[in-house]
Structure 1
Amino acid sequence: MSRPMSIERVNEYGQNAVRIAIEDRAVLLETADLDAVIEHLSALRATMRPEVPKEPLRAHQYVIEIDPCWHAEKHPLHDGAVLFLRHSGLGWAGFALPTESLARLHHALTQQLEASLEVHGMLN
């Protein structure tokens, strides 16, 4: 049985909201409610199979956040760091990276930075 669903942004009485309709039922979610639904859905998705692929799929068109806000700090309980990245639609996501992962990330980003500086003639 198919359940036609629609999701649209609405401006109900001057406040931004999202209207989700499934068949003859609908709900209007304001910003805080929508944030809670996104967070809850992402927690549920993390427990489902098949799992999210370990590598980005080349055929998928991902939404790319340009120059996102980020924050890094020492992990309070483990060796390594916590990296927070801000997506304008999904919010902040935190990633606990052990020291070995930090070293690999540092190496990968250094390679990208050096290549970018070379292209722009800024590398000696």
Structure 2
Amino acid sequence: MYQTLLVEAVQDSGRQAVRFNIGSNAAILDVDDVDLLIERLGQIRSGLSPALPHEPSRTHNYVIEIDPCWYLDKNPLFDGVVLLLRHTGLGWAGFAIPQSSLERLQDAIVKPAPRLFDVSQVPS
């Protein structure tokens, strides 16, 4: 039987933390534990079915990171680049982008596709 999950930010001994309550059980995670949990959940989710869709939903309200930090690196063992993007809540995510995809991405940036999101809904 599933029980309701409650997740909330708390102060624990003067430090920021996250408390998880499931039924009568609770756990408090510090920032490092939250980072590990996010990373591990991402690893687990990548193997679950159904897989995440290959295209973004036009109806989902995605969290948009405004002007994210990014890092680009050429890897001599890979014909393309490794792009790291930083999300303030999820951390750094890495993407190995092959040369053929880079060319398509450059074309898409130069000649933008129709809008997927209503930009009036993005918080400023």
- Aligned match of 1:24: 24
TM-score by length of 1: 0.87
Are 1:56 and 2:53 an aligned pair? Answer: no
Structure 1 stretches (4+) deviating beyond 6 angstroms? none
- Aligned match of 1:41: 41
Quickly say closer, same or farther: Cα 1:76–1:55, change in 2 above 3 A.
same
- Aligned match of 1:10: 10
Q: Distance in 2 between matches of 1:91 and 1:51?
A: 21
Is this contact kept in 2: 1:75–1:96, CA < 8 A? no
Q: Cα distance, 1:2 vs. partner?
A: 3.0
Q: Cα distance, 1:76 vs. partner?
A: 4.0
Are 1:79 and 2:96 an aligned pair? Answer: no
Unmatched 5+ stretches in structure 2: 113-124
Is this contact kept in 2: 1:80–1:96, CA < 8 A? yes
Unmatched 5+ stretches in structure 1: 113-124
AA in 2 matched with 1:80: G
> In the TM superposition, what whole-angstrom CA distance separates every residue of 1:20-46 from its partner, at most 9, and x where no partner exists?
010111110000000000000000000
> In the TM superposition, what whole-angstrom CA distance separates every residue of 1:51-70 from its partner, at most 9, and x where no partner exists?
11111101100000000001
**Identity score, percent:** 49
- Aligned match of 2:117: none
TM-score by length of 2: 0.87
Q: Distance in 2 between matches of 1:110 and 1:77?
A: 28
The CA RMSD over aligned residues, in Å, is 0.9
Count residues in correspondence.
112
